[in-house]
Homo-oligomer: A and B are copies of this chain.
């Protein structure tokens, strides 16, 4: 992933409404959600959600598809994956020992049995 594209993605995720949309769509999974449903869920006007959806799409964080009268958006897992990879490459550049703990800490999937309070 290029630096410019990464910056665009970071900018997209830095805005409250947009980050909420992304998290919502990640939760929703591949099925995605219609623009209207997203607007309702995040409580912003249709035109505003449309504005942010376009931004997220441009940033490669979500992907749209038409379905009847609705437009369904879903998380672009490839884009998210690439962004994580970009960040890790930077962070780990020459210092793998420092970033290795991130992997353990991020532990994909549901928490199995936390050892202590460690939110």
Contact = CB atoms under 8 A, between A and B. Distances in A.
A89 B106 contact: yes
Given A11-B11, A91-B77, A96-B108, A6 B19 contact: yes
A105 B110 CA distance: 22
B81 A95 contact: no
A13 to B, nearest CB: 4
Contacts of A99: 77, 80-81, 84, 108
B14 A90 contact: no
State the main secondary structure of chain A at its contact with B: helix
Contacts of A98: 77, 81
**So how many copies of this chain end up in the complex?**
2
A26 B88 CA distance: 11
Contact of A103 (B16, B22, B103): B103
B80 A106 contact: no
Contact of A108 (B8, B22, B92, B106): B92
B106 A85 contact: yes
A22 B81 contact: no
A42 to B, nearest CB: 13
Interface string A1-37: 0010011101101111001001100110100000000
